[in-house]
Structure 1
Amino acid sequence: MSGIIIDKLNVWFDTPEARVNAVKNVNLRVEKGQSVGLVGESGSGKSTILRALTGLIPTWSGSMEVADEKLGRKRSHRFYKKVQMVFQDPYASLHPRHSVDQVLSETLRLHGFSDIDQRISKLLSDVGLGPAFRFRYPHQLSGGQRQRVAIARALAPEPEILLLDEPTSALDVSVQAEILNLLVDLRLEHGLTYLMVSHDLAVIGHMCEYIAVMQLGEIVEIMPVKEMRELRPTHPYSRHLLESSLGYKSEDNSVQ
């Protein structure tokens, strides 16, 4: 069974002035069980790919296949049971008037589960929140706790694939590592496939086996994270990103 197959994907936005081509002829394959990171500067098209996959952007051409389901203009209920997304901002992704119990129980009912109480307890435990958090509201939670609830909601349908859109960038530095380690543990425990967007190469290096570098809507290089750590990118823009993240320019492409 495949994870994600993207072939010759183009995504655009029509404005009164002109068409904006946000993603251009992108090819990407994420095998089942892999974790692949999309990196690049703001506006490079990283998050646009995730939104096209989930059906949030209808203006695209090419071919997308997820968990052996070829995607058209509309997403099936089966798709949303297999694929879930964790968004960047936990403050915006949870309804302010819904308790944690409501958030999780509504998701579980939507996907046809009946043993709601037991599943909510297990989901909260999986993301490191105890039963005391079940009836709290978002304003009673810290940023890290909100993101844990968002991850629990994503896990509720028992998906195969998680799309992660900068899942820690809106959080305090002190809790970013905790959420990243949680995501690493959940992937191993549940056998998940990850496609993750980040502007932070250190985050991708911690989370992923492969890195796809995007520039101006195109993937310019795909390489194992091991090559990134060994400072062996081949594309000039990949080298630029790596040197910027390290804060110096490597003269011989080796670790000093």
Structure 2
Amino acid sequence: MTMLNIENLSVWFGGGRDRVDAVRRANFHVARGASFGLVGESGSGKSTILRAIMGLVSNWSGTISVDATPVGKKREKTFYKAVQMVFQDPYASLHPRHSVDQVLGETLYLHGFRDIDARVVKLLDDVGLGAKFRFRYPHQLSGGQRQRVAIARALAPEPSILLLDEPTSALDVSIQAEILNLLTDLRSEHGLTYVMVSHDLSVVGHMCESLAVMKDGEIVEIMDVETLRNAKAQHAYSKKLLAASI
């Protein structure tokens, strides 16, 4: 069953002569429990698609459907219980003056949960931190620990879909594998559906079953991960990306 369906999605910024078309007529779907990658060079429109899905950009057209329900321009509260996003930079995505307990507790409260203390501890356990991190502030955490908190915050509403915007690219290489393995485990444990943006084909090959290659705002090819691993892409740009990653 399709969990996320994108049809003819276009996203633009500005208007008139200043209009910039960031995404043009993108089409893809992601099955329930699957992991789908978006790859391409910087500026190709990958992250813009995630932001359009989350409602963080206002100028878009086409159809975005979650679990067969079309999403409107204004997101309902139920949408944010179903779809959450983990951003690229854990240094920027956490409030510097809020403790881990505040970050997670406020998220749980906003989504209507009442057994907040127990849920905060459970979330910290789920991301491999534990209760000892509960009252620390972002400046007291490493980059990897901050990203674990950001993942815990995204898990708090018990979503079905996680949008992952280069979740390891701002981290030290030694920490990246830990976070990717954590995300793999969480997907299995919680039955999550992932859409992952990355410029690193090896990351997508490790995390995803299929992927779309983007160039200049357009999806030029969709392939399964075996095609990626066997370097059997069809489009010239996809072949160029593969060659550059070897």
TM range, normalised to the smaller chain?
over 0.9
Give distance in 2, aligned partners of 1:40 and 1:92. 23
Letter in 1 for 2:184: V
| Structure 2 partner of 1:41 | 41
| Structure 1 alignment gaps of length 5 or more | 247-256
Letter in 2 for 1:91: Y
**CA drift at 1:130:** 1.6
| Structure 2 partner of 1:239 | 239
| Structure 2 partner of 1:84 | 84
Letter in 2 for 1:123: L
Give distance in 2, aligned partners of 1:167 and 1:15. 31
Q: Residue 3 of structure 1 aligns to a residue in which SS?
A: strand
Matched, 1:221 2:221: yes
Aligned residues: 246
Matched, 1:208 2:208: yes
**Normalising by the residue count of structure 1, what TM-score does the alignment of the two structures yield?**
0.95
Give distance in 1, aligned partners of 2:17 and 2:92. 30
| Structure 2 partner of 1:51 | 51
Q: Residue 97 of structure 2 aligns to a residue in which SS?
A: coil
% of aligned pairs identical? 70
Give distance in 2, aligned partners of 1:196 and 1:74. 23
Give distance in 1, aligned partners of 2:16 and 2:29. 34
The CA deviation string for residues 18-47 of structure 1, in whole angstroms up to 9 with x for no partner, is 210000011110111110000000000000
| Structure 1 partner of 2:66 | 66
**CA drift at 1:67:** 2.2
| Structure 2 partner of 1:105 | 105
Letter in 2 for 1:182: L
Letter in 1 for 2:147: Q
Q: Pairwise mapping of residues 4-23 of structure 1 onto structure 2 (< 5 A)?
A: 4-14=4-14, 17-23=17-23
Q: Residue 21 of structure 2 aligns to a residue in which SS?
A: strand
Matched, 1:185 2:185: yes
Regions of 4+ moved over 4 Å? none
**CA drift at 1:15:** 5.5
Letter in 2 for 1:139: H
Native 8 Å contact 1:9 1:23 kept in 2 = yes
**Normalising by the residue count of structure 2, what TM-score does the alignment of the two structures yield?**
0.98
Matched, 1:159 2:154: no
Matched, 1:146 2:146: yes
Matched, 1:122 2:83: no
